[in-house]
Amino acid sequence: MSIRSLNALRVFDVVASLMSFSGAARQLTMSQGAVSYRIKQLEAELGLTLFDRAGSSIKLTEAGEEFRRTTRRVLDEIDYAARFLRRRATPEVVVGVSTYFGSRWLSPRLIRFLTKHPDVVLRLQPTFGDSALTSADVDAAIVWGSHDRFKGRYKLLFESTVTPMTGPKLAKTISVAGMRGGLKGVPLIHDDETH
C-alpha cells in the first residue's frame, strides 16, 4: 500500500516536531480540524496509531517514533533535491559575506557588477568567520583573515591596517615618555581576530 498524499507526511512531520495539532495548524496555515483529519487519514492508510492522545496533550507512539525518523529523512532528501534542481534551473552565484562587510563595502559596488553582468544571478549569504568556507551553499566567500589558513583558491582583495586608539590622557603620557614608557603598566589589547 502506498501513501496517497505527500502533504499528509508534511502535516505529520510538523505535528510530530511541535507535538501540537493547534501549533501545526498555525504553522501550516490550516485549520486544526484539517490537521487532525489529515493525521487520522494517514493513520487509517497505515493501519497504525501514530499519536497517543491524552486530553489536550499528544505524544508519538512507538510506531509514530519510527515513522517520524523515516519521514524526516525522506522529507529532508526531497527538500535537498528540490533546492538542487532549482539552483541548476536558475544558476546563481552564492557569495558568503559578513553582514557588516556586505553592507559597508560590497553593496555600493554591486550595482556596477550587476550592470556589467546582467545574466548573473547573485545571492549574498550572510556568514560569520570561517562558516563561509565550510558551507555547502556558498560558491565563493569574502572573509577576513590571513591567507595561510585558507584551503583552495583565493585572491587577496586588499590588505588592512590596524590603528591603535587611545584616550587623551594616555596620548599625552606617550608623547612625553615615548611609546614604550607610555605603555608601561597599561593593559594591552592584542588583535588576534581572524574574522
Q: Is the pLDDT of residue 174 over 90?
A: no
Structure confidence at residue 29 (pLDDT): 92
* Confidence at residue 146, expressed as pLDDT on a 0 to 100 scale: 67
At 108 the pLDDT is 82
Q: Which residue has the higher pLDDT, 16 or 100?
A: 16
Amino acid at 106: L
**pLDDT score at 105:** 83
- Give residue-wise pLDDT tens across range 117-137: 887 888 888 877 666 566 667
- Given this model, what pLDDT does residue 164 score? 74
0.95 exceeded by pTM: no
- What percentage of residues in the chain have a pLDDT greater than 90? 30
195 pLDDT exceeds 50? no
Looking at per-residue pLDDT, the higher value among 65 and 98 belongs to 65
User: Which one-letter amino acid corresponds to residue 181?
Assistant: G
Phi, psi of 127 (to 5 degrees): -135, 165
* Predicted pLDDT at 192: 58
